[in-house]
Amino acid sequence: MVSRRILLVVLALGLLTGCTSAPGTSGPLPDGATLVDASADALRDLESVRFDFRVSSAIPGLSIRAVDGVARRSDGRYGYARGDADVQRHTDRAQYDFLLSGDRLRLTDRDGDQFEQAVPEQFVPARILDPEHGLYQLLTHATALQTETREELDDVTAYRVNGELSRKVVSQLVPGIQADVDVKFWVSEQQNRNLLRLWIQVPPRQKNEGSVMLELALSDHNRPVESMQD
């Protein structure tokens, strides 16, 4: 059975393609806290988005290695999401199409077999994209914010802001994190200040382990998402 945490990734709603230009540090850069505050304000109006989320290695309690798709929060109690997921199951990897619609999560494997499971209310799009929860909490509770550079992400100019998040805050969104983390936000240079990318570095639990990188990319902000017909 796929972990119920799959919804976290669905909502939390992947990995944006790499930067396409060298960092631009010439000229003054906007204040990091001001940029992140503006991006948090923009999330209040975010109704739908395309997402791509990836994890570089295993995190206890999180079976997802990659997930991408589209989501919207204003669709019933839980919202709506659909896309593809890459799941770690013990020593094996499995791929699924997923559909979160109404009060159910439907998973379809590559052989066409389907099964459903209950929707974990904590990790649905309606909560993750809620103006006072989810991603908004990461932006509003980040500390030590500093703008590092200006760079291009898929032909969109963004400011990269470095910061820190406490374990208490980030563990509400990502299970299995037991320490404070470093975080980077990519905020659009445009006045809408959309959040384009989020990067979290989770420190190793033991000396012989490496850090785990979590990356989330957001695009097509507020572009209409059509429901898939059953």
Q: For residue 197, which of 11, 3, 15, 13 has the smallest C-alpha distance?
A: 15
Residue 10, pLDDT > 90, answer no
Asked whether residue 224 is domain-assigned, the answer is no
Number of domains the chain is built from: 1
CATH number, domain at 131? Answer: 2.50.20.20
Q: Specify the higher pLDDT residue, 194 or 228.
A: 194
Mean pLDDT of the chain: 83
Share of the chain above pLDDT 70, in %: 83
Asked whether residue 228 is domain-assigned, the answer is no
99-105 average pLDDT score? 88
Asked whether residue 76 is domain-assigned, the answer is yes
Structure confidence by residue, pLDDT tens digits, 35-57: 999 999 999 999 999 999 988 87
CA 187 and chain centroid, separation: 14
Q: How buried is residue 164: exposed, middle or buried, by Cβ count under 10 Å (0-12/13-18/19+)?
A: middle
pLDDT of the residue at 216: 93
SS3 letters across 128-190: HCCCCCCHHHHHHHCEEEEEEEEEEECCEEEEEEEEEECHHHHCCCCCCCCCCEEEEEEEECC
Residue 5, pLDDT > 90, answer no
pLDDT of the residue at 3: 47
Query: Which of 26-35, 61-70, 136-145 has the lowest average pLDDT?
Result: 61-70
**Which range marks the domain in which residue 107 is found?**
6-219
Maximum CA extent, the chain: 56
Residue 26, pLDDT > 90, answer no
129 close to 49: Cβ distance less than 8 angstroms? yes
Structure confidence by residue, pLDDT tens digits, 146-199: 999 999 998 899 999 999 999 999 988 887 788 999 999 999 999 999 999 999
59-85 average pLDDT score? 84
pTM across the whole model: 0.83
pLDDT of the residue at 30: 96
pLDDT of the residue at 4: 43
- Residue 21 to residue 157: CA distance in whole angstroms: 10
Asked whether residue 166 is domain-assigned, the answer is yes
